[in-house]
Structure 1
Amino acid sequence: MSTENTQDEATSRYVRLQVELIVELTDTEALTSAALDQIGEDEYMPEDERGHAEDAVRRDEAEALAYLVDPFDLVTSVPGIELVQASWSSAHTDYDPDDEEWDLYEEDEAADEDG
């Protein structure tokens, strides 16, 4: 077995899963309250970081959402995998469902035609 084959086999063990979600904020008070509750219950968060997190959540609903959504939860029940690394962010965006920019299915169809 050559070194190249070994590297290909090792590389193929890792998969990058990209997920993009657009959510509509329907109750910002409930969202903020839930995020503050979660921050308050986090026994591992240092107190100085807790104050900063609470302030950020009170000022920005996108921050509140980021504290509540955990990518680890997406894969913990999937058999045969172990999460190696994760990062996520949340930001306000302009969304127009009629704008072609937001037609995610069109991108998938184009990729299928190219492949």
Structure 2
Amino acid sequence: MTSTDTSAQEPGAPRYVRLSIELIAEITDEDALKAAALAQVQADEYLDDDERAQSVEAIELDPTGSLAHFIDPVALLGEVPGVELTQATWESAQTAFDPEDDAYEFETE
């Protein structure tokens, strides 16, 4: 866990924090993930018809991208006192990973 010193900011000024989280998940049942993602997309009341169609097409094309449909930044920060989510973006992508290799390094900016 790392943090940045922001003590030089003016008192009372809005403080924005970029929170970066990198996770590696193993997909153990691609069919179950795909089915759950399709159900999630169908139930998502915030998607319009075009977005829903694009999401279904993407899931059908590459079910490993389905995991992104379960990420909910609002749920992550919604119960944290004194914090309001301002903006969020996320994606899922396949990666090369060897669980036996302790030398794996997460990407940093």
Q: TM-score, normalised on structure 2?
A: 0.77
Q: Percent identity?
A: 49
**One of 83, 86, 89 as aligned partner of 2:88:** 86
Distance between the aligned counterparts of 1:70 and 1:43, measured in 2?
14
**One of 46, 49, 55 as aligned partner of 2:48:** 46
What secondary structure is seen at the aligned counterpart in 2 of 1:63?
A: helix
8 A Cα contact 1:57 1:64, kept in partner: yes
> What residue ranges of structure 2 are gaps of 5+ in the alignment?
1-7
Deviations 1:53-89 (A, max 9, x none): 1010112123211111122221111111001111111
Structure 1 runs of 4+ off > 3 angstroms?
A: none
Q: Determine the structure 1 residue equivalent to 2:76.
A: 74
CA shift for structure 1 position 99: 5.3
8 A Cα contact 1:71 1:88, kept in partner: no
Higher helix share: 1
Residue type at the aligned position of 1:72: V
Distance between the aligned counterparts of 2:16 and 2:47, measured in 1?
30
Instruction: Determine which structure has more spread, i.e. the larger CA radius of gyration.
Output: 1
Q: CA RMSD for the aligned pairs?
A: 1.9
Q: TM-score, normalised on structure 1?
A: 0.73
Instruction: Choose 18-27 or 37-46, whichever is displaced more.
Output: 37-46
Distance between the aligned counterparts of 1:85 and 1:49, measured in 2?
19
